[in-house]
Structure formats: C-alpha cells, structure tokens
Amino acid sequence: MEELILGRRAAVLVVDVQNDYCHPEGALGLGGADVSGVRDMMPNLHRLLAEARKQKVPVIFIQTFHEEATDSEAWATRSAGKSAAVCRTGSWGAEFFEVQPEQGEFIVNKHRYSAFVNTRLDSVLRTLQIDTLVVTGVSTNVCVESTARDGFMLDYHIVLLKDACASYSREAHEMTLQNIEEYFGTVTDTPEVIQAWEYSRKAAALR
C-alpha cells in the first residue's frame, strides 16, 4: 500500500457523488433504492478529501450528466428505462451531494457508467503524470467498478476504498470488492490510506 500511495503519483477519484444517486430525495432514493450506504460512507470520504488536500494529492470529481444529445436508443433502455430521469443536465439531481470541488480541482463530466468512456479523464491523468487511482463514490458495483476496470485496462494502479464507496445493496457492494481484489486492483480502507499520507507528512517534516 505504501508503494502504491507514496511511491507513485496518486490521484483521488470521486465518482458520481450527486443528489440523484445519494440524497434520500434524489431520483434513486425516491424510486425505492436504499441510500443508507451513502450516509455511512460520507464521513470517510470527507476525511479522505481533507487529508488528500493537505497532502496536495490531486482530487478529480466525476459528474454524470444525461441529456438527449447522449441518450442513444441502447442507453435509454438501461434499467428497463427506470433511469431516464436521473442526473439530467442542469437539474438539482445532477448537482454534487455534500462535496464540492475546491479551486484548482478537476471535474470530469461523463455520460456512461465508466468515467473513461468518451471523456477527458485519461488526458487529465496523463497530464498530471498520475499512475495510481484511489477510487471512491457510488455506486460501487456500477459506475465505480466500471471506472476502476477501465482504469486498470489503461494501465493505472487501482486502489478501491471499501468504506468510501457505496452501493444500494450490501451484497452488490461486497461482490465488487471481491472482484476488484481478485482481478483489477487493491481493496483497502480510508484509515490505511490516511495513515500512509500522515506518515509521509511527518517524515517530510523531519527532513
């Protein structure tokens, strides 16, 4: 973990922490999805972001927008059409939930599950010379996993934080953790990553 977090150039990805996915009154919450996992993971995400900013670790926010220009016929049929109203461009539901990018931080807009499909994410990461992605957000088994998989396929090291991402069922969340650990990266938690950053800061202060 120290090699991945400290020995390489890492960035934090915050995937789809938006009202429609996270807020009880968002589209998924009103549709019956259990968003309690989001509530449980938000304190961990806030702690992670605070420490990343202290350490000058780049933070990249992934924000989904859906609109007619990108709603292909195939895409519109996802979830049996139940997702048609989710994160529409310009809506409250598409706004960030309890997090906001700070000055100098990046927002990458996406229109599919993976943050790498038809976006500028790879270009931003290459420009920053990033090779490790600390992946957080929602939902674990859909957009987070899709992004992590595609990142691995593009030769990024993947570190998935099990307590800073959430799904709408515990089973789905756990299945993704197992899949990532076995095939696509490393699964850990925020205390381990924060501890590594704190160690680095203390070591630098003693030099």
Nearest to 133 by CA among 159, 155, 112, 102: 159
Catalytic residue (choose from 16, 20, 150, 163): 16
- Dist. CA 167–CA 174, nearest whole Å: 9
d(CA 207, CA 195): 19
Catalytic residue among 22, 143, 162, 165: 143
Q: Residue ranges of the alpha helices (H) in the chain?
A: 2-5, 19-22, 27-30, 36-54, 73-76, 121-127, 145-153, 170-179, 190-205
CA–CA distance, 106 with 101 (Å, rounded to integer) = 7
Which tokens belong to 167? 């799904």
3-state secondary structure of 157: strand
Q: Which candidate in 22, 110, 150, 162 is catalytic?
A: 110
Burial of 187 (0-12, 13-18, 19+ CB in 10 A): buried
The Cβ of residue 89 has, within 10 Å, a number of other Cβ atoms equal to 14
Catalytic annotation present for 143: yes
- Residues marked active site are found at 16, 110, 143
